[in-house]
Amino acid sequence: MTKKDKVIILGTTGNMAFAVANVLMGIKKHSPSLITDIIIYEQNLSENDKMLLNSILSCKFIEYIFPIKMEKFDKTRLNRFTELTFARYECYNLLNEYKKVMWLDIDILIQGDITPMFDFTDKTGISHVFEPYPIWSLFTEKPWGNYDFEKVFFNAGIFVISDNLPSYEKLKDWCYEKSIEYSPILHLPDQAILNLMVQEFNLKLNPMERKYNQYPIGKEIQKAIILHSYSSEKFWNFWDSREWNQNYKKWLKMGGSAYVGKKACFLSREVKKILPHAPDIVRKPKAFVLYLIEEYKRIKNSKKLIKS
């Protein structure tokens, strides 16, 4: 079978069509010369929203079914995420059909050409942005296994892979199996597993520049190609982005389903400037306090590990 060249993969639940629309509008506006298939793994997406999304850019919709063997998974760990977070594992299987695969989270704002990102995999077959935190922080307690948990982890929200990636045909099943094994202690579930996967298969990751996965705060946001609100504070409930808001208004005018929820207040925004990864202090005060406690424990833990 002759492989197709490129594909972009997104994942969404039925209530997040507006976020998918924003991503598609960003691709269409900023990467007009990019020729690629787009696959959307979805759960409960309405037929009307599918039709409207297809009118922005041609998409193939695939219903995401949580694998049967994942019934063993400790689903209490899904209180912050949906099953769709694991749909990114399907990207490795798609290398049987495509030479290059790009995964994009839908809580992003594209404000530049993403076409060059497909070339980041030419040397090693995989490219992510690294974060300045150890892998063990992706778990709720000390993980087990013969891995280096002190290594800094990479962000799984945006990545590119290609079919020169070694052992790619084994990676999907391995990730699902390990998700079951580690499910009781997963903090950032799929991200934790993907970081272990790179070590397990001795993959050589090509670092992606931060501008392709930039947190939406600070001086660098103007130069960023992709802004990524990878926390509970999103463009639709917290960050005030002119371009994102314009895209959202276009979507509503098309007849697309709206965001249903509250927006953050001024205090929340100010606290976020100091503690960018903390939960909303106003909307989620209990979670904010628990976050401070967990951060204190992790810092204390890291000091002990350094001493030992």
**What domains lie within the chain, and their CATH numbers?**
4-212 (3.90.550.10), 264-308 (no CATH)
Task: Give me the residue label for tokens 């530049």.
Answer: 112
Q: How far is CA 99 from CA 39, 76, 303, in A?
A: 15, 36, 44
Please count the residues of the chain: 308
- Is-contact 42 64, C-beta < 8 A? yes
The pLDDT > 70 percentage for the chain reads: 94
Question: How confident is the model over 7-54, as pLDDT tens digits?
Answer: 999 999 999 999 999 999 999 999 999 999 999 999 999 999 999 999
The pTM assigned to this predicted structure is 0.86
Task: Please provide the average confidence, as pLDDT, over all residues in the chain.
Answer: 91
Question: Does residue 146 sit in helix, strand or coil?
Answer: coil
Distance CA 86, CA 191 (A): 9
Determine the average pLDDT of the residues in 110-114: 98
Indicate the pLDDT class of residue 85, thresholds 50, 70 and 90.
very high
pLDDT of residue 296: 81
Q: Compare 268 and 127 and report the one with higher pLDDT.
A: 127
Distance CA 186, CA 192 (A): 7
